[in-house]
Structures are given as structure tokens and as C-alpha cells.
A and B are shown apart, each in its own frame.
Chain A
């Protein structure tokens, strides 16, 4: 009888079953300890280690009221031309007492190519200003167009033709010591009106091709950090 009961206990939870389970479990723990941080390092720096640089675009007198100026600079001179950013900057004059600027980011909101001003560029009048070597070139655009897939925008950045899904992205600005400083990017659904009194439907900065308004924006519920 004792032999019988011993066997029964062995059947409920065998020694080899226990050893297999602990070996597998230990293997899983070791695997996890190794894998999780490695995967984290593979993915997370793209979202966390994003430095944002404040750039001085130039003294206010370089931006005549009601005229667009192309402002282009290297965000990270160490990696060169690949970090070139281009803004279309327009001085809207004063809104009551505060200065008002329209700063359009040249990245097309279709798939990210650089939009170009439709109109004459005064390349002769290009000048470099400030510690960031920002190049300022006056331009008289009737709108903006993208060379890649033909997206067209008006002077407020609203889409007028082609595949873009929203208006051109904009950047915040600040004025310090008579100089214009570039701020954070943001995305725009639509702009009503023009210049200083424009009503801008503002959203967090989104990737090109991503809808920020309408039913399609439900496809992109989580804003990307960094």
C-alpha cells in the first residue's frame, strides 16, 4: 500500500515535470532579461533622445510686412545638408500690439518632399544672418507647390490641389531683442482668413500623410512622442 500511494503522488507532480518547468522558466527569465533592454535600445532612442534646437531666424527688419522670406538653415551642421530645414516666413504686422508671423514649414504634408514657392525668388538678395547662418531670400509666391506628386497650397498653406491631406505645417515663433526665433512645429487642419487675423485649426505635429481632422484622423489616435 505505501508503494501504491508513493506512485500516486509521483503521478500528480513528477520530478521530471518540475525540472522541465523550472529549466524552461529559468530560460525564459534569462531570455527576457537579455531581450527586453536590447529591444528597448533598438526602439526607444528614436522617440526619447530627440534634441530640439531653438533657431534665431534673424532681425525683424529682414522681414518686411506682408512679404514672404525663405529662411533655410542646417539644424545640425555636423551631419550637413541632410539636416537642412526651410521655412517660409511672412511678417503679418501687428495684431493689436503683438507681432504676428506666418511661418510655414516647407515639408509637404503629402509625403514629405520640399514644397517650392510658386513665384519669383530674389536669389540676388540672399543674405546670411545670425549665429545659425540662416539664409534669408525674399520671394513673392502666389502659393506653394510640391515637385514630387504635385500637391499645391495657397499662401496660407491651405491645400488647393493634389494629394495632401491637410494644410502645411507651421512653426511657433517668439521675438526676443528685436530678433525672430523659431519655436515648436505644429500641424494645421485648415486656415480660415489670412495673415494676422487668420483662424488656424491647430493640432499636434503629425507625420506627413497623416490626417489631423475628419473621420480619417480616427486612424491615428496616438500622437508620436519625441
Chain B
């Protein structure tokens, strides 16, 4: 094949140069193209299945929440006098507001459900075991923060459901031993829910928790990249099949990992 490559037309060459030049420019100065390729194009076990897509589905749901949330914040007013009215305006008056609010509202449930399905997959596949324990721990933190997003976001419509659900939720916090009543009073910003509660929940929902989520998602993905994807428990493939058969403990201490042997010995070495 290689001997009979068709000569490309001048126009096609020009077009390719137009596309690749800025990419090459970027790659030469930052290495970002190579890094992106290194991150995206990875070897995975042969018998991965749809179950392995739950993590990226959860990530997609999070991105939808982030984007729709920022846009909702264009129109939402976190003030006790106008919060409810601004939500009514988003839903009833503003063009396509009903859709974006609906995406954010129902997407919140989708995000939480996907987090649990992803966690169930990891648990049932045993994918939390060595050396991925730390990623399980980060995942548990992500779950807690995701639920905290749900809790803080629920107050923002500032209607009866929002108010009383938050009263009950905060007072459930208050029943925790020792520090519970202090946590509740901190969340309320006082002895009862008031205007401070709304702005506090808005700030947590918009700034603090999403920031923490993004940082932890970055760590989560880094560890997925570093440690690779697990085979399902019914896999007939031996773990780490791309590597030479292990006779003695390897010197680089990576025994048992499924990471393809791109750096260490390849087959037969």
C-alpha cells in the first residue's frame, strides 16, 4: 500500500496545512495536542462494555448542570424579595427559559442517579480494589458534594416546597451528635431560615461546591488515566495481558495493573 500513495492535490495540501498549522503551532509551544491525545486515545481491556460508560455519562450530566446553571444565573436573583419572581420569569416569560430550567432541574436528578449507577458499577465490578482505592475515596467525596449541590439548589426557587424541605434538611443536620446544632445554625445563618440562608446557599451552590467538584473530578480523571480501566469480573482475559508474563515481582512495582505496557516491556520482551 505504502508504495502507491496517491499524490494529493495542491488544494488538499493547502487545506491540510491550514488545519494543521495552528495545531502544530500550539503543540510546539505547549505540548497540549500530544497531552490531549495521550489522555483520550488509550488502550482499554477488550471486554469493556456499556457499563463502562456510566462514568463519562455522569461527567456529561455534570457539564450540563454547570452550563445550564451559569445561564440560569444570568436571570436568577438570589434575594428573598425577588427570587421566586425571577424563577417565575425564567419559567414563564423568558424565551426558552422553561427549557433550560427544566434541563437543570431534571438534570440534577439525572446526575445523582448516574453517580449512584456509576458507583454501583465500580462496586459490583470490584473496580475499587488495589490500586484504585484512592479513586473510590475521591468518588465518595464527589457523591457527597453532588448531593450537597442537590440540597443547596433545592432552596433557590424559594417556594413553599423549597422552604420547608430546607427546614427539614437543615434540622436533620442539627440532629448529628455534638456539632450538629452548630452546623444547622451555620447553614441557616442564624436561629431560623432567613435572607442570609438564601444567599449562603446560592454562594455554596454556585461557587464553593462546583469548584470543589471540578477539582476532584480532575483528580478522579487523572487517576483513571494513570491506572486504566478494569476488566469486568467475568473477563477471560488476564489482567495486564499486554505485559510480559510476570515470573518474579517486577522492579517497577506495577504488577497486576491493566495499564498497557507502553513504557515498560511489550509482549515478548
Contact = CB atoms under 8 A, between A and B. Distances in A.
B190 A220 contact: no
Nearest to B184: A207
Binding site secondary structure of chain A? loop
B181 A111 contact: no
A43 B186 contact: yes
Interface in A36-93: 43, 45-47, 49-50, 75-76, 79-80, 82-83
A224 B181 contact: yes
A210 interface: yes
Given A148-B164, A210-B180, A210-B181, A112 B171 contact: yes
Residue of A45, A83, A206, A224 contacting most chain B CB atoms (<10 Å):
A224
A50 B196 CA distance: 12
A209 B178 contact: no
Interface residues of A, number: 28
Nearest to B166: A112
Contact of B189 (A46, A76, A111, A208): A46
Contacts of A80: 80-81
Interface in B173-208: 174-175, 177-178, 180-182, 184-186, 188-196
A120 B168 CA distance: 27
Contact of A208 (B164, B174, B178): B174
Given A79-B195, A219-B177, 17 more contacts: A47-B182, A75-B192, A80-B81, A111-B171, A112-B168, A112-B170, A206-B181, A207-B171, A207-B175, A207-B180, A207-B185, A208-B174, A209-B171, A209-B174, A222-B178, A224-B181, A226-B190
22 contacts: A45-B189, A46-B185, A46-B186, A46-B196, A47-B186, A75-B192, A80-B80, A80-B81, A82-B163, A82-B194, A111-B167, A111-B172, A112-B167, A112-B170, A148-B168, A207-B181, A207-B185, A210-B175, A210-B181, A220-B181, A221-B178, A224-B181
